[in-house]
């Protein structure tokens, strides 16, 4: 009989609006602060991979999605964009 590992539950994070986001270029990661005061760091490589970006484009600017504050957008100097949802931050943060 073959035994299987217990499946890991995903999606256990609860929604919380994003208060602030900043890019730390020396560490190549984003620091995301939520309304509760919790701060998470997420690697830039994770966001690039999730959005299908190859290479290492330089970050031009970062915006929080204004209406629900449920994610943020990253604009690169080469004109491409990436988006990151709140749950990606909470589920994969370092």
**More confident site: 91 or 68:** 68
The dihedral built from the CA positions of residue 50, 23, 40 and 19, taken in this order, carries a sign that is negative
CATH architecture of 18-92: 2-Layer Sandwich (3.30)
Going by C-beta distance under 8 Å and a sequence separation of 6 or more, which residues neighbour residue 8? none
Q: What is the pLDDT of residues 5-31, one digit of tens each?
A: 555 566 677 889 999 999 999 999 999
CA angle 83, 87, 92 (to 5 degrees): 95
pLDDT tens, residue by residue, 31-60: 999 999 999 999 999 999 999 998 888 999
pLDDT at res. 6 = 54
In the predicted structure, residue 68 carries a pLDDT above the cut 80: yes
Domain ranges of the chain: 18-92
Distance CA 3, CA 11 (A): 25
Query: Taking a C-beta distance cutoff of 8 angstroms, is the pair 15, 86 a contact?
Result: yes
């Amino acid at each position: 009989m073959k035994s299987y590992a217990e499946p890991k539950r995903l999606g256990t994070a609860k929604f919380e609006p994003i208060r602030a986001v900043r890019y730390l270029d020396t560490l190549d990661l984003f620091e995301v602060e939520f309304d509760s005061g919790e701060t998470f760091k997420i690697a830039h490589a994770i966001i690039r991979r999730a959005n299908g970006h190859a290479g290492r484009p330089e970050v031009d600017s970062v915006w929080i999605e204004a209406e629900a504050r449920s994610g943020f957008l990253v604009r690169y100097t080469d004109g491409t964009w990436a988006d990151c949802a709140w749950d990606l931050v909470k589920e994969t943060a370092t």
